[in-house]
Structure 1
Amino acid sequence: MSESRNRILEALKAHSSEADLPSPPVYKPQLTWSKDEKLDCFQTMLESVHGEVHRIQEDQLGEKLAQLLKQKEVKRLLCSPKFPQAIYDGLNAIECLRYDRHISEWKEELFNSVDASITTTLCGVAQTGTLVLWPDREEPRLASLVPPIHIAVVEADTIVETFAEAISEGNWASQMPTNALLISGPSKTADIEQILAYGIHGPKQLIVLIVNNQE
């Protein structure tokens, strides 16, 4: 039995050299949209599934964040350390929290008393109105999935036409993410009668801030 097993393994190894593997396909753009066309399609697709989209300049981020949090009556915000401290300085009436503990130490607090979170994004996909997030230690997966309101910041220059382009431009073939998130609108589900309900398995509201970098 052992000899048969060894012969099978040797045969598999003999036919699994890298030379036998096909080359990865070369991505070819499917569309020829301008930057404005990509932004328009991205916003339209997100808003069609109850996403809230705002276009701002880079220096307006802090002011816009404060305005939205006041409007949504947010008291406790889960902050990302990937943004400059300046955008949080004007949030005087809001408690800013950091995801700096193990989930076991504050699971009840995170799930029950955090009103909103703000995260960065890897890019956006115009064709489907999808945000691509790449969670890590500073912005864990739960940061965008647990609070009732998720505020996602996407740089206008990172919005691509298709998901295939996102994979190609990001060179995912050589640095696959351990946990990528694709978000297209607030959390939603449907019962047997196909009646949509929002916020059942995640955030009830998705607010996307498209930031144009200053030139």
Structure 2
Amino acid sequence: MSAKDRILAKLRGSLVGTTPVADDYDAGLLTEPWRYAADDRIARLRSMLEAVHGETQLTTQADWPQRALEALAARNIGELLVSPDTAHGQQLAAHVAASAAGLRLKAYDQPVEAWKEELFFRTPASLTGTLGGIAATGSLVLWPTPQEPRLMSLVPPLHIALLKASEVRDNLYELMHAQHWASGMPTNALLVSGPSKTADIQQTLAYGAHGPKELLVLILEDA
């Protein structure tokens, strides 16, 4: 018997003769204080994000690529990390080609060890999708995938995130249930509530010390 089997056997044996604790969990404790009218969710999420130096823009499924290009041009950024294997990556690539914008698109298509220096020091911006948003805390929810590894949203100084307005929920509990997280949890889930920030012992707040200095959220009102 392995050490793991011995430990599990002891745990099972310790339950013999015991009575299970009644499941009286009250979901209302987590949800009732954090409910909003449907028309207020987007406004609250934007307010919470912008309060911590996040930037939000309302746009549409058709117009967001141009908004992304304008944001990059305003910052003199000439290249963007984006996945060509996602629908939004393909939409952006088509828009760049049609507009002759001159933006260089690059993909996260190799192990991080093979291009760590370029990723950390020569990748000024990235664009990713999101799983949804949480109005209560002004948070974005990301599930990293092989197409969009988590470092895409954690390393480049500017992170542009696409958020479908229809996927903004009142609170995390409701989002998890609406999207059936229990049927297949990811190995990693990210809750992003603004640019990276930290404070030293004198409480001087600094942005970008451990991640993106800027977060731009493009909210697709028709999606």
TM, length-normalised to structure 2: 0.84
Maintained 8 Å contact 1:148/1:204 = yes
User: What's the % identity of the aligned pairs?
Assistant: 39
When the two chains are superposed, the root-mean-square deviation of aligned CA atoms in Å is 2.6
Out of 20, 45, 50, the position equivalent to 1:47 is 50
Secondary structure, counterpart of 1:150 in structure 2: strand
What's the CA shift for 1:9? 2.8
Structure 1 distance, partners of 2:181, 2:142, is 13
Does residue 61 of structure 1 match 2:64?
yes
* Counterpart amino acid of residue 86 in structure 1: Q
Q: How do residues 37-186 of structure 1 correspond to structure 2 at under 5 angstroms?
A: 37-80=40-83, 81-82=85-86, 83=88, 85-91=90-96, 92-186=101-195
CA contact 1:27–1:165 (8 Å) conserved in 2: no
2: CA distance, partners of 1:35 / 1:101: 42
Q: 3-state DSSP class of the match of 2:68?
A: helix
Q: CA deviation at 1:20?
A: 4.9
Give the Cα–Cα distance (whole angstroms) in 2 for the partners of residues 76 and 94 of structure 1: 5
State the alpha-carbon separation in 2 of the partners of residues 176 and 25 from structure 1.
Answer: 21
Give 4+ residue runs of structure 1 displaced > 6 Å after superposition. Answer: none
1: CA distance, partners of 2:215 / 2:23: 39
* Mapped partners of 1:46, 1:186: distance in 2: 9
Letter in 2 for 1:114: T
Post-superposition shift, 1:21?
7.9
Q: How many residues align?
A: 208
Q: Report if aligned partners of 1:66, 1:90 keep a CA contact under 8 Å in 2.
A: no
> By how many angstroms is 1:88 displaced?
2.4
Shift, 1:154, TM fit: 0.6
What secondary structure does 1:111 align onto?
A: helix
- Which runs of 5 or more structure 2 residues have no equivalent in the other structure? none
Provide closer, same or farther for how the CA distance between residues 11 and 43 of structure 1 changes in structure 2, counting only shifts above 3 A. closer
Distance 1:78 1:10 in 2: 50
Greater displacement, 160-169 / 137-146 = 160-169
Q: Is the 8 A contact 1:76 1:113 kept in 2?
A: no
**3-state SS of the aligned residue for 1:89?**
helix
Aligned residue type for 1:180: A
The separation in 2 between residues aligned to 1:72 and 1:21, in whole angstroms, is 57
Deviation of the 1:32 alpha carbon: 4.6
TM-score for both structures, normalised by structure 1:
0.87
